[in-house]
Structure 1
Amino acid sequence: MGVVNVTPDSFSDGGLWFDERAAVHHGLELVEEGADLVDVGGESTRPGAARVSQEEELARVVPVIRALTAEGVTVSVDTMRAEVAKAAVEAGAALVNDVSGGLADPDMPRVVAATGVPYVVMHWRGHSHDMERRAIYSDVVAEVREELAKRVALVLAEGVAESQIVLDPGLGFAKNAEHNWALLAGIDKLAELGFPLLIGASRKRFLGRLLADADGAARPFGRSDHATTAVTALAAQAGAWCVRVHEVGPNADAVRVAAAWKRGAGR
């Protein structure tokens, strides 16, 4: 899943694809590099980010989704709003990626159920402006698994089919670096819930901190792509369904290597 942020303020590439033509061009580039899905979002969810209006979000994402799907691209929409999800699917989006797992907009599960498209339910404890203070866990893997299971039960009760659901542990969302690493190491425990897993580690702060220089300065977002590729290879080997990344080419290669490794082990 390649990322197209149609925003001026996303943490790693805010503003680069804010223009509609630039966003569409970038989406097509990601497909050429090997993306199976292009994830179009119009609202930054970086820590501390302020929300945009629904009208602004619609204006950002719908034209890009419509243009990309006209080119034959399989598109997902990254949104927490039911009305944006509905409009995006009507414009051609084939998946709804909701970082709030239906908590930000209680109408989201019902709308997604009506569309029939796959639905990414991410682990989430609150909006960007206060999520960092919610990063408190005794056993992060067990608690994220339990909270995801509860979300699944609730969205199923709203009519979403089991076959639609994809789970995302929400790396960096109300989690610190130690929590993120524990969740990656615990993919097998999360997979026991029985749903495909989406992993979104690309360029996140915990990678930059891992790769800090001798003075302790974190590596800039754009210089953690090699670490992202390593996470992708390990996630694919561990059975993740998909990875959400900013730089597709090396990560697509990593997925192919992991798949070949698995085939070789199965002989």
Structure 2
Amino acid sequence: MNLGIKPFKLKQKSVIPGFGITMGFTLTYLTLLVLIPVSMVFLNSAQIGLDKFWEIVSSERVLASLKISFGTSFLAAAINVVFGFLLAWVLERYDFWGKKLVDGLIDLPFALPTAVAGISLTTLYSQNGWIGRLFAPFGIKISYTPLGIVVALVFIGFPFVVRTVQPVLESFDVEVEEAAACLGATRFQTFCRVILPELFPALITGFALAFSRALGEYGSVVFISGNMPMKTEITPLLIRTKLEQYDYAGGTAVAAVMLVISFILLLMINAFQWWAGRHRSR
């Protein structure tokens, strides 16, 4: 007699293939597209020997390019976190005419060729450009300076922050804010103690995405930077210069150093995000 009790199953079947097949596909995919190309960088740079490798990566020009690349990328990602959050907040919390158009324009840096973006930004921010001429009387030069590199990296990186924060704001319950206000919390207290803890993991993720995207950017930066060695030369451009001079060992050595530093920084960001998530869930 059937009493309406479902038989107990030790293992619930998944809709997609089992662990063995999916794990095998994942490892194959990562090996072909990530591990093998990255390992070739280290294998090629290892052929020159440790002394030659250190001589290349410790040269003044390489160190200057690394400083410019990582410094401008970090600054641009930090700026994008602030203004990307504000833009996502406006799009999710307010209704206004042209909202759909503004929301669509956010993805423009994804579709726009980086070379076109670089030429446009260089024209606008040069001393004779529409925006650059406004700063020229104050002695502020944007194009062909590190400041111009930051402008280009902000342009190509801000969609990552906006698109990362938007879903969190969309799912956030406004009644929680109203409850905090009813309990006597000010707007500042509500933001710091209620809203920010929920948005913090998304902001860190957006920062990491914008930072990693900025590190590898080449097309938009090469026009607005001026490419002056020791001043505005970024590391991707230096690597390409070495490859064009058939210095493959030197190019891969610089690329290997950049990969290691990028991996360590992103690992630290992910570890901080994991710690913040555990701390928030307690």
User: Which of 1 and 2 has greater Rg?
Assistant: 2
Q: TM-score, normalised by structure 2?
A: 0.27
The structure, 1 or 2, with the larger RCO (C-alpha pairs under 8 Å, 6+ apart) is 2
Bigger share in helix: 2
Bigger share in strand: 1
Q: TM-score, normalised by structure 1?
A: 0.28
